[in-house]
Structure 1
Amino acid sequence: MCDEQEDPEIFLNRLQANPEGVLADEYNRYRERLWRIVNFRLDTRLLGRVDADDILQEAYLDASTRIGHYLNDPATTFFIWLRTIVGQTLIDVHRRHLGAQKRDVRREANARRRVFSASTSFQIANVLLGDMTSPSQAALKEELAIQLREALESLNEIDREILVLRHFEELSNLEASEVLEIEPKTASMRYFRALTRLRSILVQIPGIID
């Protein structure tokens, strides 16, 4: 399946005729969106160690070797296919760095933080509390983050994920449904339900919403 802006057959013909050129054009077209995904999903313990642009470059090289796979089975839009490869690259980066430097990472984070560090809840909380950067706010931010992460864990896993896809990755409803392999109508309903639940959570935690 190609991108919805272009006829599927035309896109696949272009890709087959000039795979490297079309990949380069499409990757450049979606680079900002893919960067946003990496920036959100990257484990905060790797900030300053791993650059999002390096991850995107690694993913691009991987995609260039797998174009044939997409041509043989174009089951998703090209953007979702690229997003999948970027996601797989990000997982590999996490394994390499957090596995090889396991002891160092454990010294840098307390036990409670490690429980949530790789979770969607941790990333959501980190973004929502991102404006609290002053030293005087550090203790409050940590306490609010713990409360927020624990509250977010009460959400269904798919509901947390659809919040990320729609609100933080800024995917369309159709794209989110494609990622989650559910019907667009179901994705829309789950997003509305998850957003309503998130708002109720934020209201209940003093200091999150003024």
Structure 2
Amino acid sequence: MYEYMRGELVAIHPLYIVVDVQGIGYQIYVANPYRFSTSLNEEVKVYIYQAIREDAMTLYGFLDEYEKQLYLKLISVSGIGPKSGLTILANGDFHGLIQAIEAEDVRYLTKFPGVGKKTASQIILDLKGKLTDLIDGVEVPVIPTQTSFDSKSPFFAEAEEALKGLGYTVKDIARIMPQLEQDDSFQSTEEVLRQAFKLLLKN
């Protein structure tokens, strides 16, 4: 099993990044790959979880060990698979997620694709009281100051592909798009996605 990888970040795709480690390009699925945008073509350290099935071996990556530990807790819950775990972490609001579990907020948890009431209740049952030690260690990336944004920018297209890949429906995306288009300050796909997640998780 891998603990982490250190290498050059050579590509960012809607669902995964590619890290070159001594000439070998590793495809690593991560929650919101665009959080790594500022490190493109630079050396990165990515914490790794390796999932092995009969028909595939997949690498999942994380910004730090705290995010990885939160992910491992999530996928230990019946009904939460590796992809669902990434979808839940993609919005980056780890504090909000932990608080929702502690508050037994089923409504918040069912906002994530693939999480119904039964699975949400199972998350609460299995994880309540077991995540608070992670709160202080988890850091939410700081978004840089923004300038202008063109609604036809590739940021929107990349964000839409990322949302679809995470399991959000066309209807979900269409519901929030008018609100996103009202904001002319986006400067990156990461910023578009962060706002999209906030809108998708609103009551």
Assess same fold via TM > 0.5.
Answer: no
- Give 1 or 2 for the bigger CA radius of gyration: 1
How does the TM-score come out when normalised to structure 2? 0.30
Relative to its length, the structure with more helix (as a share) is 1
